[in-house]
């Protein structure tokens, strides 16, 4: 490879229209990903696999940190002590309040205002990357939940009776992730269509609205209904956490097996119950765990702590399929690709052409909405077609609903790999220069960044462009490999034993393999295109 040319190609440029453009993934890395995909598919199809029969509560391949000599006590303290997590909450709440202050009182220049720089350039990109290492740890220090808890419960961490919550049960019609899915769709529309990423005041108003939703929900319903059913950020983190290499679980399974008091669920005299109704000894997935540590603090046996595990363990076999959750995963995949599509140079041209056809004017919201609907429906429709074909090839031995829900887990590694690769570019390029914005969070007296200043900022990456390209390519290949593992494992569970050459069973999952190839190919193509930067 000509590394000098690759480095030159990876420098940001300014388009004739005055827009800052980030170059795409070099073609050499694209070829590497395609070659990797070809080998992985061949291995997936022609290597026999059988259904793995195991107890989902067992942890033979997990490594409890709390049982390690020397480090065990430290790990338990970090998990069970309320002081550290409260201190981190104070930090995130302080930053949240600064975002509100800067957004409402600061400059409307998004690149000079801390509200937009911290929220969209650093936090949202960084929180997705953090899931790769720490699972749902962000939810434990979320400022929306922290402030809502302090307002409603009127204490920092101890359990008291001085609450103003009505404590109603969430209506059965709302006990699902459909509210969170609807909120995620609306949030995507606001971010990309309305353009709140470039509007500090709108960013602050949205942040306040989310706080109000969390507070009102906590004041009316029991525990933390907003976190469990309606938070689009928390549910996205929760589903991605199925792929994380860490989990909050029992350190010794036999202790939980004989426990009858279930403090992890009910809480104790000093510690609140689990906010999302989880029983520690029966947990098989991270989806609804907020990593708050209540279970670790309330357990009288000190038996709850962090465990290391093989990445993607839950997506392969641990997580249980549900209809609403399957739809969330598939829609998450569609919206993740749509997010990248809107940052291509040609997207605005498409929308303007559609607006001229429809007679749309102004902010082109109607045209954007139609484009969003079409771009979202296509991958969802493709998945539905794939499931129908799989159902057809199997001669209806497995119901369409079972196929849809159980194979939907393939969407997680496909979405997460692209989301990580895409956000990594944002974080490394747009995070540069954030220190100056922190020094003047309101941006008062500042002039807009010139194109030269923007170009210089984007060119000063924390990692070399070649390193970024290598990481993106490896993430895409790894995501595809995990997707194939999911197809094999989940497929074997559905169809018992999948072996090539036996009654054409190699074709049984062929449509799902094709789906993974098409989606990864589309995501790879997006990464290889020049991308419009937000700063």
Instruction: Please give the backbone phi and psi of residue 311, each rounded to the nearest 5 degrees, phi first.
Output: -55, 145
Domain boundary among 292, 308, 324: 308
Task: Tell me if 328 is assigned to some domain.
Answer: no
240 and 354 housed in the same domain: no
- How many whole angstroms from its chain centre is CA 325? 14
Q: Each residue of 31-63: pLDDT tens digit?
A: 999 999 999 999 988 887 765 545 444 545 577
Instruction: Fill in the DSSP letter of residue 127.
Output: H
38 and 180 housed in the same domain: no
Q: In this structure, are residues 407 and 329 in contact, taking their beta carbons and an 8 Å threshold?
A: no
pLDDT exceeds 60 at position 498: no
Q: In this structure, are residues 76 and 302 in contact, taking their beta carbons and an 8 Å threshold?
A: yes
Task: Tell me if 320 is assigned to some domain.
Answer: no
Confidence (pLDDT) at 362: 75
Beta bridge partners of 307: 64, 247
Report the percentage of the chain scoring pLDDT > 70.
86
Residues 6+ apart with CB under 8 A from 187: 232
Task: Tell me if 5 is assigned to some domain.
Answer: no
Instruction: Supply 341's token pair.
Output: 């599509």
Confidence (pLDDT) at 305: 85
359 and 491 housed in the same domain: yes
What is the spatial distance between Cα 116 and Cα 121, in angstroms, rounded to a whole number?
7
Say whether 6 sits in a helix, a strand or coil.
helix
For 262, left (φ over 0), alpha (ψ -120 to 50), or beta? left
Mean residue pLDDT across the chain:
85
- How many whole angstroms from its chain centre is CA 247? 16
Task: Tell me if 9 is assigned to some domain.
Answer: no
Q: Taking Cα atoms as reference points, which of 33, 17, 171 lies closest to residue 478?
A: 33
145 and 30 housed in the same domain: no
Confidence (pLDDT) at 239: 94
- How many whole angstroms from its chain centre is CA 431? 19
Host H or E run for residue 498: strand 497-498
Task: Tell me if 204 is assigned to some domain.
Answer: yes
Domain count, the chain: 2
pLDDT: which is higher, 375 or 364: 375
36 and 141 housed in the same domain: no
Mean pLDDT of 69-88: 77
Confidence (pLDDT) at 161: 66
Task: Tell me if 57 is assigned to some domain.
Answer: no
Q: Each residue of 1-27: pLDDT tens digit?
A: 443 444 344 456 665 555 667 778 899
Instruction: Fill in the DSSP letter of residue 122.
Output: I
pTM over 0.85: yes
Residues 6+ apart with CB under 8 A from 304: 79, 80, 248, 249, 250, 251, 264, 280, 295, 296
Instruction: Please give the backbone phi and psi of residue 329, each rounded to the nearest 5 degrees, phi first.
Output: -65, -45
Residues 6+ apart with CB under 8 A from 216: none
Q: Each residue of 339-357: pLDDT tens digit?
A: 999 988 888 888 889 988 8
395 and 436 housed in the same domain: yes
87 and 213 housed in the same domain: yes
Q: Each residue of 383-434: pLDDT tens digit?
A: 999 999 988 887 767 889 999 999 999 999 999 999 999 988 878 777 676 7
The three-state (H, E, C) secondary structure of 223-253, written as one string = CCHHHHHHCHHHHHHHHHHHHCCEEEEECCH
Range of the domain at 148: 63-308
pLDDT: which is higher, 270 or 503: 270
Count the alpha carbons within 13 Å of 182 in the hemisphere toward its beta carbon.
7
80 and 209 housed in the same domain: yes
Instruction: Supply 533's token pair.
Output: 């930067």
Confidence (pLDDT) at 254: 84
pLDDT exceeds 60 at position 284: yes
What is the spatial distance between Cα 389 and Cα 392, in angstroms, rounded to a whole number?
5
Confidence (pLDDT) at 72: 66
394 and 297 housed in the same domain: no
Task: Tell me if 21 is assigned to some domain.
Answer: yes
100 and 197 housed in the same domain: yes
What is the end-to-end Cα distance of the chain in Å, rounded?
Answer: 31
Domain boundary among 291, 308, 325: 308
pLDDT exceeds 50 at position 504: no
pLDDT exceeds 90 at position 148: yes
Confidence (pLDDT) at 57: 47
Confidence (pLDDT) at 205: 96
Instruction: Fill in the DSSP letter of residue 465.
Output: H
pLDDT: which is higher, 9 or 233: 233
Print burial letters for 237-275: b (CB count within 10 Å at least 16), e (below 16). bbbbbbbbebbbbbbebebbeebeebbbbebbeebbbbb
Count the residues in the chain.
Answer: 535
Strand bridging mode 531-532 / 13-14: unpaired
What is the spatial distance between Cα 212 and Cα 209, in angstroms, rounded to a whole number?
5
375 and 230 housed in the same domain: no
Beta bridge partners of 497: 50
Report the percentage of the chain scoring pLDDT > 90.
43
76 and 133 housed in the same domain: yes
Beta bridge partners of 63: 308
Task: Tell me if 457 is assigned to some domain.
Answer: yes
């Amino acid at each position: 490879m000509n590394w000098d040319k690759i480095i030159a190609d990876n420098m940001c440029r300014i388009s004739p229209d005055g827009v800052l453009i980030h170059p795409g993934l070099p073609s050499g890395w694209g070829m590497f990903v395609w070659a990797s995909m070809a080998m992985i598919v061949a291995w997936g199809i022609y290597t026999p696999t059988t259904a793995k029969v195991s107890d989902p509560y067992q942890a033979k391949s997990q490594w409890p940190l709390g049982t390690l000599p020397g480090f065990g006590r430290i790990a338990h303290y970090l998990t069970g002590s309320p002081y550290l997590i409260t201190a981190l909450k104070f930090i995130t709440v302080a930053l949240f309040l600064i975002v509100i202050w800067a957004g409402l009182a600061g400059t409307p220049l998004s690149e000079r205002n801390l509200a937009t720089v911290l929220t969209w350039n650093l936090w949202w990109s960084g929180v997705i990357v953090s899931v790769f290492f720490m699972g749902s740890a962000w939810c434990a220090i979320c400022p929306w939940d922290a402030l809502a808890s302090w307002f409603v419960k009127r204490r920092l961490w101890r359990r008291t009776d001085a609450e103003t919550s009505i404590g109603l049960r969430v209506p059965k019609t709302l006990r699902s992730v459909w509210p969170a899915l609807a909120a995620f769709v609306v949030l995507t529309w606001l971010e990309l269509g309305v353009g709140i990423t470039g509007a500090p005041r709108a960013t602050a108003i949205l942040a306040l609205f989310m706080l109000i939703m969390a507070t009102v929900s906590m004041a009316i319903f029991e525990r933390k209904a907003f976190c469990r059913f309606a938070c689009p950020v928390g549910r996205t983190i929760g589903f991605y956490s199925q792929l994380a290499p860490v989990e909050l679980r029992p350190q010794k399974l036999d202790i939980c097996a004989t426990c009858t008091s279930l403090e992890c669920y009910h809480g104790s005299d000093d510690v609140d119950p689990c906010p999302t109704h989880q029983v520690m000894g029966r947990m098989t997935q991270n989806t609804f765990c907020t990593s708050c540590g209540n279970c670790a603090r309330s357990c009288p046996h000190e038996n709850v702590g962090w465990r290391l595990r093989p990445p993607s363990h839950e997506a392969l076999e641990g997580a249980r399929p549900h209809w609403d959750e399957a739809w969330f995963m598939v829609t998450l995949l569609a919206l993740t690709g749509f997010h990248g599509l809107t940052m291509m140079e040609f997207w605005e041209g498409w929308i303007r052409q559609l607006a001229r056809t429809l007679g749309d004017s102004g902010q082109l919201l109607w045209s954007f909405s139609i484009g969003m609907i079409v771009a979202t429906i296509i991958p969802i429709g493709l998945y539905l077609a794939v499931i129908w074909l799989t159902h057809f090839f199997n001669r209806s031995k497995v119901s369409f609903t079972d196929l849809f829900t159980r194979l939907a887990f393939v969407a997680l590694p496909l979405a997460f790999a692209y989301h990580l690769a895409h956000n990594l570019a944002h974080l490394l390029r747009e995070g540069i220069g954030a220190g100056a914005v922190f020094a003047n969070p309101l941006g008062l007296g500042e002039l807009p960044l010139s194109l030269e200043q923007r170009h210089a900022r984007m060119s000063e990456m924390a990692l070399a462009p070649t390193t970024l390209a290598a990481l993106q390519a490896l993430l895409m290949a790894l995501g595809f490999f995990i997707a194939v593992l999911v197809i094999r494992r989940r497929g074997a569970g559905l169809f018992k034993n999948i072996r090539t050459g036996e009654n054409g069973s190699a074709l049984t999952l062929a449509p799902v393999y094709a789906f993974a190839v098409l989606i990864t190919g589309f995501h790879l193509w997006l990464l290889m295109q020049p991308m419009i930067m937000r700063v």
